[in-house]
Amino acid sequence: MSNDKSVMVFIEQHDKKISAVSYELVCEARRLADKLGVAVEGVAVGHDLDQELVDLGQYGCDKVYYVDDIKLEQFNSVPYSRVIADVITDVEPQIVLFGATTTGRDIAPRIASELSCGLTADCTELEIGDHKIKDTVYENTLLQNRPAFGGNIVATIVSPESSPIMSTVREGVMKLADLQEGRKAEVEVRKSTATNKDFMSEILESVRIEKDIDLAAEKIIVTAGMGACNEESL
């Protein structure tokens, strides 16, 4: 890998609120980027997100490429994939991370197909290391761990010749780092490259119901079997 290329994170947002998994991935990207000696960058799509993106600097993000368009205020698979793929093509990061959310699982395969690059899904651990294939040693490549065979084993996936290497990462598995108070991310606003043909569907209304309890944010979850049918049995 070239040391002048960044680790990039897709900054997922809903209703102008950045998803928790994006903060986790920025912190993880910072850890990986420090090992590679490169910058952490984000790519965000939406409208009126400027301050939220600047604050990503506290989590370790250096720069955010922000596609600001009122038509992209609500998530739409095809145009989102188009503009993100165009940013990646222009910036040429060496690693791109997505949250393994419904949104990330939707657009990451589309973008990987567009860019003809490797994509590993549902990663639970990422590391930088060397990998040997026959007589060739790939230095400082991304080692991507994910459960396989129904969770019975953990497989390490490598795609050192892919440019970029892309991964979706499960929510809640990467730790948040301590905030760097006052640190700000540079935000570069870009025009949307999506065309009218990319908007194959129209969003008439978006209804989101907030959960009373966010299990993904909890550190410890206690469950009970079928025998615990009431409060007394618990």
List, for residues 42-57, the tens digit of each pLDDT value.
999 999 998 899 999 9
Average pLDDT, the chain: 91
Under DSSP, is residue 59 helix (H, G, I), strand (E, B) or coil?
A: helix
- Over range 158-177, report the average pLDDT: 93
Query: Is the pLDDT reported for residue 2 higher than 50?
Result: no
As given in the structure block, the two tokens for residue 223 are 């469950």
Reported as a pLDDT band with limits 50, 70 and 90, residue 217 is low
Q: Are 35 and 45 in contact (CB under 8 A)?
A: no
Reported as a pLDDT band with limits 50, 70 and 90, residue 107 is very high
Q: Which of 124, 168, 169 is nearest to 148 (CA)?
A: 124
> Does residue 181 or residue 218 have the better pLDDT?
181
Q: Which of 131, 151, 150 is nearest to 139 (CA)?
A: 131
Reported as a pLDDT band with limits 50, 70 and 90, residue 215 is confident
Q: Are 56 and 188 in contact (CB under 8 A)?
A: no
AA identity, residue 234 = L
- Over range 104-108, report the average pLDDT: 97
Helices 77-91 and 102-115, packing angle to 10 deg: 50
Write the CB contacts of 182 (distance below 8 Å, at least 6 apart in sequence).
Answer: 58
- Over range 192-199, report the average pLDDT: 90
Query: Is the pLDDT reported for residue 211 higher than 90?
Result: no
As given in the structure block, the two tokens for residue 35 are 């090992």
pLDDT score at 117:
95
Q: 0.85 cut: is pTM over it?
A: yes
Q: Which of 50-54, 163-167, 211-215 has the highest mean pLDDT?
A: 163-167
